[in-house]
């Protein structure tokens, strides 16, 4: 995953977006979680507000930082919806470059920004893709890059966005001049659009397992299958895979469990699920080519963003993560005649050290269609 700091975002990415410099394709798309750092959603709730349910994969069309940036972002989203017939949203980030940034080790004095300022940036995000490999992404991306929206032909709007009253808009203005064509025309501000992740979602969301026809067959005859869960999120409490040892971890990319071992994984997962169900937990099992997992819970929301940035899991999710950790001291048991304790377990099978929330896997038409015998 490409990691970009806020400073890099301000000095280069903003200018690149303004100039429409085409970005190079990469295996792992840039993430707004990395580029924007700590996030804060827009105060007023409206149909353009990006939520955790939009996406999880999106296209970053452009970013506005000038005067009345939000109005231009909304206008752009409206035009994308009406002209291109694509879902479009806006997302706000506050940048604050005031106050102290540290201390000079030689003098001990506080270090401050040379040009203290703060501003709001509004990103326009497009699409609601369930996978980075969604069949419509490339086509929609090309449509965005070549779209001729009225908002970008409005002289007043352009002047407001590319003024020199703030450091951020000054950078965009400089970039616009730098990358103008010989005939004096600027490039499409969306020509540098790229695929990114929904910044409202925490990292764990993107560990969602992929379901194709073969994986669906592995799970269709299983009782308490995770594919039958009607929730959006769940918590993995036990993972059975071939990399549970040091040797396995070193060869994780090359390791393919045998059919016998996979059957054993499935049997252990099923055993854990049934025992957890007896204790009143809504437990599920899920199996793919390389592993089996046991999860607990069927949740509609992961949690909420904190006022100062960061993310807090919902109380019921945190309960599962704490209660079913292998290191949960309240559940660990003293080993008779030995020092130390056994791991928190059920049916003599230990839980994972760190339970992990994920999105419930879903079988999409594309994933079912694209499955091939060669991938089995």
Mean pLDDT calculated for residue range 212-239: 90
Those residues whose C-beta lies under 8 Å from the C-beta of residue 48, and which sit 6 or more positions away, are 73, 74, 77, 78, 88, 89, 90
List, for residues 271-300, the tens digit of each pLDDT value: 999 999 999 999 999 998 888 999 999 999
CA angle (358 as vertex; 360, 313 as ends), nearest 5: 120
Q: Which of 24-33, 178-187, 309-318 has the lowest mean pLDDT?
A: 24-33
pLDDT at 80: 94
Residue 193 resides in a domain: yes
Residue 226 resides in a domain: yes
pLDDT at 197 over 80: yes
Q: 223 falls in which pLDDT band (50, 70, 90)?
A: very high
pLDDT at 50 over 50: yes
Average pLDDT, the chain: 70
Same domain, 111 and 226: no
Same domain, 97 and 165: yes
Same domain, 121 and 239: no
Same domain, 185 and 214: no
Residue 5, Cβ neighbours under 10 Å: how many?
11
Same domain, 151 and 236: no
pLDDT at 367 over 70: no
* Omega before residue 56 within 30° of 0, cis: yes
Same domain, 154 and 299: no
3-state secondary structure at position 49: strand
Residue 110 resides in a domain: yes
Same domain, 213 and 83: no
Mean pLDDT calculated for residue range 8-21: 36
Report which of residues 9 and 331 the model is more confident about. Answer: 331
Residue 107 resides in a domain: yes
Nearest to 11 by CA among 142, 170, 127: 170
pLDDT at 311 over 60: yes
Domain count, the chain: 2
Q: Which of 72-81, 118-127, 165-174 has the lowest mean pLDDT?
A: 165-174
List, for residues 84-118, the tens digit of each pLDDT value: 999 999 988 765 445 555 556 677 665 544 444 45
pLDDT at 144: 93
Same domain, 220 and 126: no
Report which of residues 52 and 116 the model is more confident about. Answer: 52
Same domain, 184 and 224: no
Those residues whose C-beta lies under 8 Å from the C-beta of residue 330, and which sit 6 or more positions away, are none
Contact 113, 101 (CB under 8 A): yes
Same domain, 117 and 173: yes
Mean pLDDT calculated for residue range 129-133: 77
Same domain, 44 and 158: yes
Q: Which domain holds residue 278?
A: 203-375
Last residue of a domain, one of 168, 197, 226: 197
pLDDT at 261: 83
Same domain, 220 and 297: yes
């Amino acid at each position: 995953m490409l990691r970009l700091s806020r400073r890099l975002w301000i000095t280069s990415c903003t200018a690149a977006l303004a100039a429409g410099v085409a970005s190079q394709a990469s295996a792992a798309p840039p993430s707004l979680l990395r580029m924007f750092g700590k996030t804060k959603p827009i105060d007023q709730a409206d149909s353009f507000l990006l939520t955790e349910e939009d996406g999880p994969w999106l296209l970053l069309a452009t970013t506005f930082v000038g005067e009345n940036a939000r109005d231009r972002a909304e206008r752009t989203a409206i035009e994308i919806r009406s002209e291109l017939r694509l879902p479009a949203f806006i997302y706000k980030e506050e940048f604050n470059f005031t106050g102290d940034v540290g201390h000079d080790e030689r003098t001990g004095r506080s270090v401050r920004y040379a040009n203290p300022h703060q501003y709001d940036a509004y990103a326009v995000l497009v699409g609601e893709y369930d996978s980075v490999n969604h069949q419509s992404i490339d086509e929609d991306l090309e449509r965005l890059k070549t779209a001729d929206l009225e908002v970008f032909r409005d002289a007043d709007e352009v002047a407001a966005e590319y003024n020199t009253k703030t450091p951020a808009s000054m950078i965009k203005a400089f970039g616009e001049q730098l990358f103008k064509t010989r005939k004096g025309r600027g490039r499409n501000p969306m020509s540098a659009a790229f695929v990114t992740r929904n910044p409202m979602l925490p990292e764990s969301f993107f560990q969602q397992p992929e379901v194709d026809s073969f994986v669906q067959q592995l799970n269709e005859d299983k009782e308490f299958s995770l594919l039958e869960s009607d929730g959006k999120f769940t918590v993995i409490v036990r993972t059975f895979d071939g990399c549970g040892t040091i040797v396995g971890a070193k060869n994780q990319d090359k390791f393919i469990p045998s059919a016998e071992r996979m059957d054993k994984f499935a049997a252990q997962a099923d055993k854990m699920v049934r025992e957890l169900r007896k204790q009143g937990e809504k437990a599920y099992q899920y199996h793919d080519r390389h592993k089996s997992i046991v999860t607990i819970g069927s949740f509609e929301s992961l949690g909420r963003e904190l006022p100062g940035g960061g993310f807090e899991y919902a109380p019921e999710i945190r309960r599962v993560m704490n209660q079913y950790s292998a290191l949960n001291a309240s559940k660990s048991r003293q080993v008779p005649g030995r020092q130390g304790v056994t791991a928190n377990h059920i049916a003599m099978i230990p839980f994972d050290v760190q339970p992990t929330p994920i999105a419930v896997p879903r079988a999409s038409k594309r994933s079912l269609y694209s499955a091939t015998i060669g991938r089995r």
